Amino acid sequence: MIKLIATDLDGTMLDDQKRMPENFDTVLQDLTSRNIRFAVSSGRSFCTLRKQFGRYVDDLIFICDNGAYVYDKGEVVSMSVLPDDAVRNIVRYCEELGLTVLLCGKRGTWHNSAEPSHVAEIAKYYINQQKLDDLSSFDDEIFKVAIMQAGGIENGAYPKLKARYGDYFNVQLSGECWVDIMNHGITKGSALHKMQNRLGVDYGETMSFGDYLNDIEMLENSYYSFSMENSHSLVKKAANFSTGSNNDNSVMKEIIKLCFNS
């Protein structure tokens, strides 16, 4: 019996226009009536997710910043803050490479870009983003550094970032144009495991959905793991099952089929 469901948002539960499933309310109500917990698991920060899912804040589990910040029913379950000196080092290196950098913190999201197209891309995922002329002057607890390279980062700056910081931090591809840097051991999967322990739920009672590389550890921590039709090829290999695309409401369809009709 499924007792815990975790899903990524972008490219997974949300369609390409970033729209929520029309039947989300009904499905969540049915899950709640069956004592099945639902976790939103995203690279987005809590301040963004809290605004986006405000009406559900007392019902959902929030796995934010790829697991660096976990919130459940009014309680911060865990948080992982990057060392300030490391954040400044990453900022300096990325700016030398001409990359757009975001610092995802407790109070907000700070970035260094004046390029309108980059700011528009940032605004898709971070509601309260703000430009800092000197990004190294941030005054916040930083959970994640997100780095954007327009045109694709996997074959661009990612190898350099991995080589420079991979021994010290988790350097993870999170989208076609995005790399995220968190503390070692911080993933959506480690956050899901914390929630499994907190709720007394095991691998065989957990369902998850994802489409990109930062979802792999989450999928590996659940038996009912689904890759999307639009997933990265490595995600498809990591999941036990597959489903349709994010534009076909596939997450809700699988939940209804396995949780309500079995």
CATH code of the domain covering residue 157? 3.30.1240.10
* Domain boundaries, position 191: 4-79+186-260
Burial class (CB in 10 A: 0-12, 13-18, 19+), 124: exposed
Q: What is the pLDDT of residues 133-147, one digit of tens each?
A: 899 999 999 999 999
- Which range, of 44-58, 91-105, 170-184, 236-250, averages the lowest pLDDT? 44-58
Phi, psi values for residue 195, rounded to 5°: -70, -35
Q: What is the pLDDT of residues 2-14, one digit of tens each?
A: 999 999 999 999 9
Over residues 148-163, mean pLDDT? 94
Do residues 120 and 155 both lie within one domain? yes
* pTM (whole model) above 0.85: yes
Do residues 163 and 195 both lie within one domain? no
Number of domains comprising the chain: 2
What is the pLDDT, as a whole number, of residue 4?
98
Over residues 198-225, mean pLDDT? 97
| Sheet of 241-242, strands arranged across | 75-79, 69-72, 61-64, 37-41, 4-7, 206-210, 224-227, 241-242
Over residues 97-126, mean pLDDT? 86
Do residues 228 and 245 both lie within one domain? yes
pLDDT above 80: residue 207: yes
What is the pLDDT, as a whole number, of residue 127?
79
What is the pLDDT, as a whole number, of residue 118?
81
* Structural domain ending residue among the three candidates 138, 168, 183: 183
pLDDT above 70: residue 122: yes
Whole-angstrom distance between the N-terminal and C-terminal Cα of the chain? 9
Residue 136 DSSP class: G
Task: Give CA–CA dist 116/170, Å, rounded.
Answer: 29
- Which range, of 48-52, 115-119, 177-181, averages the lowest pLDDT? 115-119
Q: Give residue 262's pLDDT band: very low, low, confident or very high (50, 70, 90).
A: low
Question: Residue 241 CA to chain centroid, in angstroms?
Answer: 20
pLDDT above 80: residue 128: no
Do residues 24 and 99 both lie within one domain? no
Helix (H, G, I), strand (E, B) or coil at 214: helix
Do residues 88 and 75 both lie within one domain? no
CATH code of the domain covering residue 256? 3.40.50.1000
Token pair for residue 127?
């509601």
Helix (H, G, I), strand (E, B) or coil at 39: strand
Token pair for residue 33?
């009536």
Helix (H, G, I), strand (E, B) or coil at 232: coil
Q: Which residues pair with 173 in a beta bridge?
A: 179
Over residues 19-48, mean pLDDT? 95
Token pair for residue 220?
């590996």
What is the pLDDT, as a whole number, of residue 130?
82
* Structural domain ending residue among the three candidates 183, 206, 229: 183
What is the pLDDT, as a whole number, of residue 190?
97
